[in-house]
Amino acid sequence: MRSTAEGLVTPLKSSVLIIDDDEGMARTLSAILAKAGYAVSTAPTGRQGIEVFKTGRDPESLCIVLLDIRLPDLNGVQVLKELKKIDPHVGAIMITGNADMESAVSSLHEGAAAYVTKPYNIDEVKSFIQKAFERQQLIVQNSLLMKQLQNWNVELEKTIHEKTAELKTKNMILLEVVEKLKVLNELKSRFVANASHELQTPMTSILGFSSMLLDYWDKVDHTQITRFLQIIRDEAQRLSRSSRDLLDLSRIQDGKMQLECQKINLKDVANQVAENLRVIKNTVAVDVEFEAGSEEIWSDPDKIRQVFTNLMGNALKYSPDGSNLRVTGKMRGEVVIVSILDQGPGIPADKREKIFEPFYRIHDDVGKRVRGTGLGLSIAKAIVEAMGGVIRVEGQTGKGSNFTFALPKELKSENGNLSA
């Protein structure tokens, strides 16, 4: 019994159950075995023996059954079968007469550890019992080992399962991150390509027209010279606007925009912006209406003005001559909602997200004539969002656009880099 399993096994008591209808014999055997240190119980019939084995047994002890093959109710082989149902590893020693040879052999087939023939030698019985106990102990230890092994297996499987699931989750997260990075990288590449195009196009005009004036000075007339110089000036201004807007946008997106907080009258801002924009286009009537209580907010005056300028400027560019541009404001709780409604060509539903992307332009007849930096709406969106607000556009193709933005009535420090 010196095996690695020893540590797993609690020391077991040894008990013997004698099932024999010969009470004198049972009593004698019982006394001898008790003297030898076994806990002994007896049963005179097969059914009682089964009952004792089932209920009267100490579950902590190993039990060897001495089983008479001839019993008044059941025969020994039948009893053995029943005992095996209760404990498949039951250790049983059959007690047989000379005439029971056949039954004795079949009991061995049924799993009996041994058989002794009456009249038996008590030492032989003791020795069989001892062997049966050793065998039982081996079986118990073996099954404990098996159980331990199974537990380990289950634990191992569980661990593998958990680790696999963990890896799968991590892998999915990584894949998502990779996808996001890919998208970001693509956006960045597109932004750089667009920015480059936006800077190179006016540069083409400036370099081309100026070198043309130098190369062909004697071949161009006064009108052409004036026209070329005007284009050079326009394009230089456009270049300057583009680079300033690019810088603005990247500063806002990097969260480096400093916000101030002052009391502002939105209606006044809208009216002033409308007045300034008349220089660009004076054929569109601008109506400004703010609900009572929605005019005053606490926010950054320059940034608010820029949002109005960009959105109203964009709306004006696309507004046909003689049309109306309505700027309205209303209060909803702690939020002011401003709408800028034009009567221009409108924006198709599938382009509504895109128009806030840098350099995105809807190419229509109006779009070709409109020369902006392509960053106005992106900047407006970036500012509104940096202030903790939202912006979106609605309206149908052919029925005008409605740019709406919502701003907190009072700029909070968590909504931006509030200075002072």
Q: How many helices (H) and strands (E) does the chain have?
A: 10, 14
In degrees rounded to 5, what are phi and psi of residue 408?
Answer: -65, 140
**Residue 121: DSSP 8-state:** -
User: Does 203 contact another protein by CB under 8 A?
Assistant: yes
User: Does 243 contact another protein by CB under 8 A?
Assistant: no
Determine the interface stretch with another protein among 23-31, 149-157, 202-210, 340-348 (rule: CB under 8 A).
202-210
Rounded-to-integer distance, Cα 380 and Cα 307, Å = 5
Q: Where are the alpha helices (DSSP H) in 43-121?
A: 46-55, 76-86, 101-109
Site for another protein in 335-374 (CB under 8 A): 363, 368, 371
In the list 20, 68, 100, 235, the residue contacting another protein (rule: CB under 8 A) is 235
Convert residues 367-406 into a mask of x (bound to another protein by CB under 8 A) and - (unbound): -x--x-----------------------------------
| Nearest CB to another protein, comparing residues 82 and 234 | 234
Determine the interface stretch with another protein among 79-87, 128-136, 192-200, 375-383 (rule: CB under 8 A).
192-200
| Nearest CB to another protein, comparing residues 35 and 368 | 368
Site for another protein in 60-119 (CB under 8 A): none
Least distance to another protein from the beta carbon of 385, Å? 29
Residue 261's contacts (CB-CB under 8 Å, 6 or more residues apart) are: 298, 299, 300, 410, 411, 418, 420
Least distance to another protein from the beta carbon of 233, Å? 11
Rounded-to-integer distance, Cα 185 and Cα 229, Å = 39
Determine the interface stretch with another protein among 8-16, 172-180, 189-197, 256-264 (rule: CB under 8 A).
189-197
Amino acid at 367: G
| Nearest CB to another protein, comparing residues 359 and 405 | 359
| Nearest CB to another protein, comparing residues 209 and 403 | 209
In the list 121, 204, 258, 283, the residue contacting another protein (rule: CB under 8 A) is 204
Rounded-to-integer distance, Cα 22 and Cα 97, Å = 13
3-class secondary structure per residue, 52-69: HHHHCCCCCEEEEEEEEC
User: Does 253 contact another protein by CB under 8 A?
Assistant: no
Amino acid at 202: P
Residue 329's contacts (CB-CB under 8 Å, 6 or more residues apart) are: 266, 267, 270, 289, 290, 291, 294, 295, 336, 337, 338, 339
Least distance to another protein from the beta carbon of 196, Å? 7
Count of positions on this chain that bind another protein (CB under 8 A): 27
Q: Which residues pair with 330 in a beta bridge?
A: 337
Q: Which residues pair with 286 in a beta bridge?
A: 325
Site for another protein in 205-234 (CB under 8 A): 205-209, 211-212, 215-216, 219-220, 224, 228, 231, 234
| Nearest CB to another protein, comparing residues 68 and 198 | 198
| Nearest CB to another protein, comparing residues 211 and 413 | 211
Rounded-to-integer distance, Cα 238 and Cα 235, Å = 5
Strands of 321-370, DSSP E: 324-332, 335-341
**Residue 226: DSSP 8-state:** H
Least distance to another protein from the beta carbon of 220, Å? 7
Tokens encoding 91: 């250790």
Residue with tokens 């925009």: 257
The helix (H) or strand (E) run that includes residue 192 is helix 122-215
In the list 197, 244, 256, 278, the residue contacting another protein (rule: CB under 8 A) is 197
Count other C-beta atoms under 10 Å from residue 26's C-beta. Answer: 19
Tokens encoding 216: 């062909």
| Nearest CB to another protein, comparing residues 98 and 223 | 223
Least distance to another protein from the beta carbon of 346, Å? 18
Compute CA distances 36 → 12, 122, 127, 223, whole Å. Answer: 16, 12, 12, 134
Q: Which residues bind another protein (CB under 8 A)?
A: 193, 196-197, 200-209, 211-212, 215-216, 219-220, 224, 228, 231, 234-235, 363, 368, 371
